[in-house]
Structures are given as structure tokens and as C-alpha cells.
């Protein structure tokens, strides 16, 4: 039997996502909703977010945005991002978040599939978007967050005069109609646009409210980019729940500590790399962090020792969670004590199975296999990519996460690694994440990333890229440390290389392809194509 929550399912309203959010925001009126700490604490109240979003929707609707039309949203974290996103969705459009640091070719790859009719772009990225428009036939209109003498600005779009044009007659099917198209690498292959429905986003808003249950007086902090699932989930959670959210564009230890002290932040929503820095930075002692009640973290496995340091340093509850862009919430910790290992229990309305990598047979507690999920958080599919959709979602609605894990006797879910990242040494699986968590315990190590190096005899050899915390750290020290901690087949036979920085995505995930390039592999080498997961998915059968 699949693993499920012990709590009863929640009833999802038969409404559009924007209607659900507007109904919630109306209850909180003049309370501060969003604060942009990167520009001196500029803020918006719930009423301002409500009014500006609806005005934006009215302008887009009268300008010709129709139901189902795609609108690109290319901006870093700012107060205008949630306003634009809610406005687009309320007008019947579908938001396509676009990473502002992308080059022209990268945006074109995304837009060739999505065919956006309009785009709202931050003034910092306008030159790039103009070049994109020249090569994108579907893109008819550009709007600008910030100043522009050439294009209509968001400031003009959110003027109160546009409220009269707000569309009240757009019929939305929450299960079928799309609201958002975030970008994801998926389990394999090129990045893909995830078809996220109104129902998916409503579930995110409501399920986090039932799991986390913060007081409306609580204040949350995040430095996660809004164009990513972790970022937009944060403001969905707080706008729905009536909490103040402090926004930061980039993580810096002292900036976060100053924010905690200044705003009396109660909840920190962040990623593992940030916690590693916080756990090892003595400046924490220089600030009043007594307001912090909870640290929520997701993205990649983190060494329990790091989490214990965070709990002790902040006197805060540690709440891990598990999600992915294709399935916005899967499991979360709801216990009364911090959880240092595992990601919590399955969320309401959700089913999870652990299946054998070869046969697809359903496994039991303490048996390790791929995690597959079914529930209202599962995406509709990948836009314009039916092959990848069929490989990822079964006909009866189970999504392959590409993550390997197991459940214990208390039905807590543990993530061991990613299927595509597993190292095979003489036929035995070696987890890069496990090696990384061990190496991070070394007092002279600041960061680490592990990959498999091809070997004609063993198949693959584990190799570690290490960032030094102190200059006198040697490879022999790291090697000896690992030998003391792990069995023979997990040793670093592929070598140890010292680097200045471990390449990571904006959400903190190690970019192992970049590590493989650093190790000397060329672009077309088979090791960069992850053939193992593709083969595994093709061979799976289901009862």
C-alpha cells in the first residue's frame, strides 16, 4: 500500500488560484505583506498587493491577453514580481518565469516552446529581451518593471484606473487550466517547462497552511529567487496565510543576521548552502536572533551536524521539507521536535511509493528505491514535450521523482540520493550526497561536491571537489578522514581536487555536470548524458 498522511485530506475549493489568493488577502487589509530588504525596506500591504494585482489584470485584459495566453515574467526578486504574477493569472494568462541572468539563446530555447504573447521584464534585462523579441514571432508586447521611455511600465499598468477593466467572467477549470510554467531540468535531459495548474498552486497555499500553521503575527524571511518554485511558494504561503515576508535578492550571512535582528524574523525559509555558512560563522553570536522560532529547509540533503548547529545557534525548530518543481509539495516535518535526518511525513491528499529501480515493484519500509508520488501537487506535464511527460508521469498519475529513498517504521521519508547521480563502484551503489555529508564534517572543509569518474575496471570511482576552509588542508587529510568514516567501496579512488567554489544552482543544488566538465569531460561524453535514469525509467513496470 502507498504511504499516506495520517491526517484527513483537505477540501480544495472549485475556484481559480487568483480568486483564492484575493479572498485571503482581503482579510488582512493594511497589514504589511512584503518587504524588500535589498532596497532599504520598501514594502507593500496586503491591500496594495490585492489592488495592484487586480489593476494589472485589468490592464492586461483590455490590452488583449486572452485565457491561456503565455506571458513571460523575467525578473529577479522584487515587490513587483508577486503583483505581476497574480495579475497575469487573474487575467486568464499563464506565467512563464524566466531567469533574468539568462542569455538570449537560453531565453529563446524556453520561448520557442512556450510562444509567449507578452513579457514583463525588469529594466535590468530589457536589452536582452529586445533581442529575444526580434527572434520570437509570438512575442508582441513588452512591459517593464522599473523605468522605460520605450515601453509601458508596470507602474502604469497597476494604476487604479485599470481596475474597471478587471475581468470577472473568466471560467477556470482548476484541474485542467494552467497558471504557471516554471522551468526545470526534470530527471534528465534539457530544461523543460512544467505545466502547473490552478489546482496545483491552490494546494500549495492550503497545504502549507495546515502543516506549518504560523501565527499571522509571525515574520518570514527568504532569499530564494521568485522565479523558482521555492521562491514563489514562499510568497504564496505568506500572502495566503497573512504573514509578513522579508525578501532578499542574494544570501549573505551578515545581511541575513541584520534582517533577523531588525524585523524580528520568526521563520527562515532557505536552502542548505546558506545553512552551512550560517552554522560555521561566528558572527551569529553578534546579533540578537532570539526571535527565530523555526528554520525550514529543502533542496538537498544536509549533514545532521550542520542542522544541530543551526538549532543550537538560533534556538530554533528545524523543519525539513521535500518538494520538486514538478510536484510542489510531497512531504514535510510536522513533529514537535527538530528533525535532523529525513524530510518528514507525506502531506495530506498525497500518496507516495518506493519502487524497485529495475522491476518497478512496490517496496516496503526500510527498502530503498525510487520515490514516486501521486496527488494534487503533481504537474500536468511538460509543455510541448509529450515524450518527457510520458517518461515522468505514468498513465495512472504517478510521477517519477528521480530521487532514491526509503521510509522508516515511523513513516518518515529519507532521501538517499538522485537516481541520475548514483555512482556505481564494482556494481555497488555509492551515494555522492553521503560522501559530501561526511566530508563536510571535517573542520577544515568549507564545501564539497562529489561525482563518479569512469573506470574500465570498477565502472566508476568517486571523486571529491573540495573547498578549503583553511589553507593548510591537504588531500591526504581528507582521504584519511573518509577512510575513518566509511567502508572500502565508498573511498575517494577518483581523487581529491581543491577548488575555489562548488558550482550550484540558484536553489543550492550541486551542478554535477559542471563538476564533470571541471574534471576534464567534454560536452558530448556519455557521462554528461545520464543514460542510466533513462534506461531505468523505460524498464519500469507497474502493477
pLDDT at site 186: 56
The domains spanning 3-7+16-406 and 420-535 adopt the same CATH topology:
no
Q: Which residues of the chain have pLDDT under 50?
A: 523-543
The domain ranges of the chain are 3-7+16-406, 420-535
Sign of CA dihedral 123, 191, 404, 514: negative
Going by C-alpha positions, the residue among 79, 125, 356 that lies closest to residue 245 is: 79
Tell me how far the alpha carbon of residue 410 is from its chain's centroid: 26
C-alpha neighbours within 13 Å on the C-beta side of residue 4: 12
Residues in the chain: 543
Give 420's Cβ-side CA count (13 Å radius). Answer: 21
- Check: CATH 3.40.50.12780 for 3-7+16-406? yes
Q: Between β-strands 3-4 and 351-355, what pairing exists: parallel, antiparallel or unpaired?
A: antiparallel
Q: What is the pLDDT of residues 66-110, one digit of tens each?
A: 999 999 999 999 999 999 999 999 999 999 999 888 888 888 989
Q: Which residues contact 288 (CB under 8 A, 6 or more apart)?
A: 260, 261
Across 391-493, the runs of DSSP E, i.e. the strands, are 399-407, 413-418, 423-425, 428-430, 445-455, 459-468
Domain at 420-535: CATH code: 3.30.300.30
User: What pLDDT digit, counting tens, does each position of 333-376 carry?
Assistant: 988 889 888 999 999 999 999 999 889 999 999 999 999 999 99
Nearest to 127 by CA among 144, 106, 152: 144
Q: Give the model's pLDDT for residue 190.
A: 62
- Rounded-to-integer distance, Cα 159 and Cα 394, Å: 46
DSSP-derived 3-state class of residue 197: strand
Contacts 24+ apart (CB under 8 A), 174-179: 174/12, 174/14, 174/15, 174/16, 174/17, 174/198, 174/199, 174/202, 175/199, 176/380, 177/16, 177/67, 177/68, 178/68, 178/94, 178/380, 179/16, 179/17, 179/89, 179/94, 179/95
Amino acid at each position: 500500500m502507498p504511504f499516506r498522511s495520517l491526517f484527513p485530506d483537505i477540501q480544495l475549493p472549485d475556484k481559480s488560484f487568483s480568486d483564492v489568493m484575493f479572498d485571503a488577502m482581503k482579510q488582512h487589509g493594511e497589514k504589511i505583506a512584503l518587504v524588500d530588504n535589498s532596497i532599504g525596506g520598501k514594502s507593500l500591504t496586503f491591500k496594495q498587493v490585492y489592488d495592484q494585482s487586480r489593476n494589472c489584470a485589468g490592464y492586461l485584459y483590455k490590452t488583449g491577453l486572452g485565457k491561456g495566453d503565455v506571458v513571460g515574467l523575467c525578473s529577479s526578486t522584487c515587490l513587483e514580481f508577486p503583483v505581476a504574477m497574480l495579475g497575469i493569472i487573474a487575467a486568464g494568462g499563464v506565467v512563464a518565469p524566466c531567469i533574468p541572468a539568462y542569455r538570449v539563446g537560453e531565453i529563446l530555447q524556453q520561448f520557442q516552446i512556450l510562444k509567449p504573447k507578452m513579457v514583463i521584464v525588469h529594466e535590468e534585462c530589457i536589452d536582452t529581451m529586445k533581442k529575444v523579441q526580434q527572434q520570437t514571432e509570438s512575442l508582441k508586447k513588452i512591459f517593464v518593471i522599473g523605468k522605460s521611455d520605450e515601453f509601458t511600465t508596470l507602474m502604469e499598468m497597476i494604476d487604479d484606473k485599470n481596475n474597471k477593466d478587471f475581468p470577472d467572467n473568466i471560467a477556470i477549470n482548476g484541474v485542467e487550466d494552467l497558471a504557471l510554467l516554471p522551468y526545470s531540468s526534470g530527471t534528465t535531459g534539457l530544461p523543460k517547462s512544467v505545466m502547473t495548474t490552478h489546482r496545483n498552486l491552490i494546494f500549495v497555499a492550503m497545504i502549507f497552511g495546515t502543516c506549518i500553521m504560523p501565527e499571522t503575527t509571525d515574520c518570514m524571511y527568504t532569499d530564494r529567487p521568485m522565479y523558482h518554485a521555492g521562491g514563489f511558494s514562499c510568497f504564496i504561503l505568506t500572502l495566503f496565510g497573512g504573514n509578513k515576508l522579508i525578501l532578499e535578492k542574494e544570501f549573505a550571512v551578515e545581511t541575513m543576521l541584520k534582517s533577523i535582528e531588525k524585523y524580528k524574523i520568526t521563520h527562515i525559509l532557505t536552502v542548505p548552502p546558506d545553512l552551512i555558512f550560517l552554522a560555521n560563522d561566528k558572527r551569529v553570536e553578534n546579533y540578537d536572533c532570539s526571535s527565530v522560532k523555526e528554520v525550514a529547509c529543502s533542496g538537498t540533503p544536509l549533514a545532521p551536524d550542520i542542522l544541530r548547529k543551526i538549532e543550537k545557534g538560533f534556538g530554533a525548530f528545524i523543519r525539513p521539507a521535500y518538494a520538486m518543481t514538478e510536484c510542489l509539495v510531497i512531504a514535510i516535518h510536522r513533529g514537535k521536535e527538530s528533525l535532523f535526518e529525513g524530510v518528514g511525513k507525506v502531506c495530506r491528499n498525497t500518496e507516495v511509493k518506493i519502487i524497485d529501480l529495475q522491476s518497478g515493484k512496490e517496496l516496503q519500509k526500510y527498502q530503498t528505491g525510487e520515490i514516486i508520488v501521486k496527488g494534487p501537487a503533481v504537474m500536468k506535464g511538460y509543455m510541448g514535450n509529450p515524450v518527457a511527460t510520458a517518461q515522468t508521469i505514468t498513465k495512472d498519475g504517478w510521477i517519477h521523482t528521480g530521487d532514491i529513498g526509503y521510509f522508516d517504521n515511523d513513516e518518515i521519508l529519507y532521501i538517499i540520493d538522485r537516481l541520475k547521480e548514483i555512482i556505481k563502484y564494482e556494481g555497488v551503489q555509492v551515494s555522492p550526497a553521503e560522501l559530501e555529508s561526511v566530508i563536510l564534517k571535517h573542520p577544515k572543509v568549507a564545501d564539497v561536491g562529489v561525482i563518479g569518474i569512469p573506470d574500465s575496471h570498477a565502472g566508476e570511482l568517486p571523486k571529491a571537489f573540495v573547498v578549503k576552509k583553511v589553507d593548510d588542508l591537504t588531500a591526504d587529510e581528507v582521504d584519511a578522514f573518509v577512510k575513518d568514516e566509511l567502508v572500502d567501496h565508498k573511498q575517494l579512488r577518483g581523487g581529491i581536487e581543491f577548488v575555489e567554489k562548488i558550482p550550484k544552482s540558484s536553489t543550492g543544488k550541486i551542478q554535477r555536470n559542471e563538476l564533470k566538465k571541471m574534471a576534464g569531460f567534454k560536452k558530448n561524453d556519455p557521462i554528461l548524458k545520464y543514460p542510466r535514469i533513462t534506461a531505468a525509467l523505460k524498464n519500469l513496470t507497474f502493477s
